Structure formats: structure tokens, C-alpha cells
């Protein structure tokens, strides 16, 4: 296969332009974070489709998922996807806003297999539901733990961890 890093070097401006053009209407607030990351916002309804297109893009090609972080924004939640493009050797940080009362977003495990555990962790810690995930169990905490500790309104009670 002969995978090399940075086989299609592009300047950050060129990548930002390319993304803004090819994904117009899907990616919003495209901005460059020095030295090598593009930060953008994506609507949650289109995430799955967008992820597949980002991965398949012939020039940028974000093929590897680096990590997913769930963030409690108090007014809502946010799922942050950090993906890596081998061709351009740059990163894309995708922020997806989720409503407070229904923090659900489609899983991207079908696109990036690495998303499996990261989504489980995000569910475990922040309580974001990844719809369609093959095995959405707790990962770091015990099976019978109650609540999601990285939520800002989480109150630690003895009853939350029955077997501690």
C-alpha cells in the first residue's frame, strides 16, 4: 500500500478554501488554527454523510479519526471530532452542537472504525448518545454506575456507585 505522510502537501489556506467550497452548506465557521488544524462546525443531522464525504475526499481525505471528546456547554452539548488527513498531514477539528434535552448524534463507527471506543467514552463521561453504535456500553466506569460525571451538573452521590 505504501502509505506515506504528507503525499499531497497543501497550504492551510488552500485546504480551508477547498473545504469551504466542497462542503459549502455543511461546514460552517471554517477557520485555521495554527499551525496545522482546521476548526469547523457541522450540523448534527448531516454528520454521518459529511464524515463519509470527508473521508473519501480525493485531495484532503480525512481517513483517520484521532479522538472524540464530549463537552458539556451547559446550554447544550458538543461532540468534538479530531480527524487526521494523511495526504496533507493536517488535522480537522469538527464541532457538532447537540441540544441539552436530547444529546443524540449519529454514530460514525461505520466511517471511522476507531470511533467505537471514543464514542463509548464520550457516552460514559458526558452522556452523549451515539445513535446506531453497535455496542454503546460504559467503558471506563462500571456497568452499574449512575450518571455521567463530566456533566457540569453532575452531583457525586454514594448511590451513584453501588459497588465502590
Partner 1 sequence: MPDQFATAEPDEAVKLALRRIEEATARGEGSDVDGLAFNEVVVNMGPQHPSTHGVLRLVVTLDGELVKDVIPVIGYLHRCKEKLAERRTYFQYIPIVDRTEYVASINCEWAYVMAVEKLAGIQVTRRAEFIRVITGELMRIASHLVAVGTFTADLSPLGTAMVFYMFREREQILDLMEQLTGARMMFNYFRFGGVRYDLPDGWVERCRDFLAKFPKLIKEYEALVDDNAIFLQRTQGKGVITQQDVVDYGITGPNARASGIDLDLRRTRPYSVYPELDFALCTEQHGDIFDRYRVRMEEMRESVKIIEQCLDMLPMGPVQVGSLRAPYVITPPPGSCYVGQENPRGEYGTYIESDGSRYPYRLKFRDPCFCNLQIFPKLLSGNKIADAVAISGSIDLVLGGIDR
The residues that touch partner 1, with contacts defined as CB under 8 A, are 1-6, 33, 35-37, 63-67, 69, 71-72, 80, 82, 84, 86, 89, 91, 93, 112-114, 116-117, 125, 135, 137-143, 149-150
CB of 143 to partner 1, least distance (A): 5
Q: Which residue number, 137 or 159, has a Cβ lying nearer to partner 1?
A: 137
3-state secondary structure the chain: CCCCCCCCCCCHHHHHHHHHHHCECCEEEEEEECCCEEEEEECHHHHHHHHHHHHHCCCCCEEEEEEEEEEECCCEEEEEEEEEECCCCEEEEEEEEEECCCCEEECCCCCCCCHHHHHHHHHHHHCCEEECCCCCCCCCCCCCCCCCCCCCCCCCCHHHCCCC
CB of 90 to partner 1, least distance (A): 9
Q: Which residue number, 25 or 35, has a Cβ lying nearer to partner 1?
A: 35
CB of 23 to partner 1, least distance (A): 21
Q: Which residue number, 1 or 21, has a Cβ lying nearer to partner 1?
A: 1
Q: Which residue number, 46 or 66, has a Cβ lying nearer to partner 1?
A: 66
CB of 134 to partner 1, least distance (A): 11
Amino acid at each position: 500500500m505504501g502509505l506515506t505522510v504528507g503525499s499531497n502537501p497543501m497550504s492551510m489556506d488552500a485546504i480551508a478554501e477547498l473545504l469551504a467550497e466542497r462542503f459549502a452548506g455543511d461546514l460552517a465557521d471554517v477557520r485555521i488554527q495554527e499551525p496545522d488544524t482546521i476548526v469547523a462546525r457541522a450540523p448534527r443531522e448531516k454528520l454521518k454523510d459529511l464524515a463519509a464525504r470527508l473521508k473519501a475526499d480525493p485531495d484532503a481525505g480525512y481517513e483517520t479519526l484521532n479522538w472524540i471528546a464530549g463537552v458539556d456547554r451547559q446550554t447544550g452539548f458538543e461532540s468534538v471530532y479530531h480527524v487526521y488527513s494523511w495526504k496533507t498531514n493536517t488535522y480537522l477539528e469538527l464541532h457538532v452542537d447537540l441540544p441539552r434535552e436530547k444529546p443524540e448524534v449519529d454514530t460514525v463507527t461505520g466511517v471511522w472504525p476507531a470511533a467505537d471506543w471514543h464514542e463509548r467514552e464520550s457516552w460514559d463521561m458526558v452522556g452523549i448518545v451515539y445513535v446506531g453504535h453497535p455496542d454503546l456500553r460504559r467503558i471506563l466506569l462500571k456497568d452499574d454506575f449512575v450518571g455521567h460525571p463530566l456533566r457540569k451538573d453532575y452531583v457525586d452521590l454514594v448511590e451513584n456507585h453501588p459497588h465502590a
